[in-house]
A and B are shown apart, each in its own frame.
Chain A
Amino acid sequence: MPSTVELASSFIEGAPPGELADVVADVQALTSDGEDIIPSLLPAFKRYNETQLATVKLPGSSQEVIVSAFNELEDNRYFDPESQTSFEVDHTTQTASAAQSYPLESEQADLIKSLLKSFGVHAREHYPNCSYGVYPIENDSAVAIVLVSNRYSPNNFWNGRFRAIYQLPVSASSSTLTGNIHVDVHYYEDGNVALNTTKPVNISISSVSAESIVSRIAAAERDYQEALNRAFVQTSEGVFKGLRRQLPITRQKVEWEKVGGYRLGQDISGGKGR
Chain B
Amino acid sequence: MADAQFDSALDLLRRLNPRDTKTNLQAITSIVPELTEDLLSSVDQPLEIRRCPQTNRDYLLCDYNRDGDSYRSPWSNEFDPPLEDGTVPSERVRKLEVAANESFDVYRELYYEGGVGSVYFWDLDDGFAGVILLKKGVTPGSQSSGEWDSIHVFEATDRARMSHYKLTSTVILHLANKTEALGDMDLSGNMTRQVEVDLPVESDASHVANVGRLVEDMELKMRNLLQEVYFGKAKDVVGELRSLGTLSDANRDRETQREMIMSMQK
Are A257 and B227 in contact, CB atoms less than 8 angstroms apart? no
Which among B62-70, B124-132, B176-184 touches the partner chain?
Answer: B176-184
* A273 pairs with B188, CB closer than 8 A: no
CB distance from B57 to the nearest CB of A (A): 7
Chain B residues whose CB sits within 8 angstroms of the CB of A127 once the complex forms: 241-243
Residues of chain B lying within 8 A (CB to CB) of residue A128? 240, 243, 247
Partner of A160, one of B19, B136, B140, B241: B241
CB B80 to nearest CB in A, in angstroms, measures 14
Contact of B242 among A30, A191, A225 (CB under 8 A): A225
Closest Cβ of chain A: how far from B244's Cβ, in Å? 6
- B27–A11 contact, CB under 8 A? yes
The tally of CB-CB contacts under 8 A between chains A and B is 307
Q: Which of A21-44 contact B (CB under 8 A)?
A: 22-23, 25-27, 29-33
Contacts of A124 in B (CB 8 A): 247
Question: Which residue, A126, A127, A231, A245, has most C-beta atoms of chain B within 10 A?
Answer: A231
Q: Evaluate whether A240 and B111 lie within 8 angstroms (CB atoms) in the complex, with A198-B183, A260-B99, A270-B94 already known.
A: no
Using A236-B227, A263-B99 as known contacts, say yes or no to A254 and B15 having CB atoms under 8 A apart.
no
Q: Tell me whether A98 is interfacial, beta carbon within 8 Å.
A: no
Assess the B55–A273 pair: CB atoms within 8 A: yes
A231 CA / B183 CA spacing, docked (Å): 11
B residues contacting the other copy or chain, number (CB 8 A) = 101
Task: Pick the residue among B103, B193, B223, B240 that contacts A246 (CB under 8 A).
Answer: B223
Task: Say yes or no for B237: interface residue by CB 8 A criterion.
Answer: yes
Q: How far is the CA of A14 from the CA of B14 in the complex (A)?
A: 12
Cβ contacts under 8 Å, B76 to chain A: 271, 273
Knowing A243-B136, A259-B103, A273-B101, the reply to whether A185 touches B227 (Cβ < 8 A) is no
Whether, in the assembled complex, A219 has its beta carbon less than 8 Å from a beta carbon of chain B, the answer is: no
Chain A residues with CB under 8 A of B87: none
A244 touches B15 (CB 8 A): no
Provide the residues of chain A in CB contact with B237, threshold 8 Å: 151, 158, 160, 185, 187, 195
A226 close to B244 (CB less than 8 A): yes
- Once the chains bind, are A273 and B102 in contact (CB under 8 Å)? yes
Q: Does B195 reach chain A (CB closer than 8 Å)?
A: no
7 interchain pairs, CB-CB under 8 A:
A11-B12, A126-B242, A200-B183, A254-B213, A256-B216, A257-B209, A274-B55
